[in-house]
Amino acid sequence: MATVELEGFAELDHMFQQLGNVPFDVIAEALEEMAEPTERAVRESGLSMGVRDPESRVHILDNITHTKPKQTSDGGTCKITFKGSRTRGRKKTRNSEIAFLNEYGKRGQAARPFIRQAAESSGPRVAEAGARVMEKWIDDTTK
């Protein structure tokens, strides 16, 4: 018969209990810290795929921002967005629409999935930014 021994279970259990009690201001700080590397990754990915429009002085990659963190039932949320718009002739187009067309393409224009690529490649950096905030909070609460 096999025997299972757990060492340090009490400490692990205590840590999980603490994570369930994270105040929203700590979650908001973690989201803010995670937004910056995400924005940077989207910008870099877009540049590598040629998303920048040489005919325009307003570029969607220069207008990436994030919303203020909002509390939700399961923690919080913060959205990465493309603010503003640009005008060509008389037609005004939102930067978010331009980003969508670049991401998914259209007839005669191949998709350039720069947002998906950024999300896939930046996961560890983004998680690390949030983990630093959470680890600091855990260290401060266990002292």
User: 3-class secondary structure for 77-111?
Assistant: ECCEEECCEEEECCEEEEHHHHHHHHHHCECCECC
pLDDT at 14: 61
- Evaluate whether residue 17 is within a structural domain: no
Structural domain of 44: 22-141
Q: Does the pTM exceed 0.85?
A: no
- Evaluate whether residue 57 is within a structural domain: yes
Helix or strand holding residue 75 (H, E) = strand 75-77
Q: State how far the alpha carbon of 115 is from the alpha carbons of 65, 90, 92, 98, 129, in Å.
A: 13, 28, 23, 12, 19
- Report whether pLDDT(1) > 60: no
- Evaluate whether residue 14 is within a structural domain: no
- Report whether pLDDT(3) > 50: no
Q: What pLDDT digit, counting tens, does each position of 48-106 carry?
A: 998 877 677 778 899 999 999 999 887 889 999 999 988 878 889 899 999 999 999 99
pLDDT at 18: 60
Residues whose CB falls within 8 Å of the CB of residue 108, separated by 6 or more in sequence, listed in order = none
pLDDT at 13: 62
- Evaluate whether residue 16 is within a structural domain: no
Q: What pLDDT digit, counting tens, does each position of 94-143 carry?
A: 999 999 999 999 999 999 999 999 999 999 999 999 999 988 988 888 77
How many domains does the chain contain in total?
A: 1
Q: What pLDDT digit, counting tens, does each position of 9-20 carry?
A: 666 566 566 666
| Separation of alpha carbons 143 and 138, rounded Å | 9
- Evaluate whether residue 15 is within a structural domain: no
- Evaluate whether residue 126 is within a structural domain: yes
- Evaluate whether residue 8 is within a structural domain: no
10 Å CB burial of residue 83 (0-12, 13-18, 19+) is middle
- Answer for the pair 61, 54: CB distance below 8 angstroms, yes or no: no
Decide which of 93 and 8 is more confident: 93
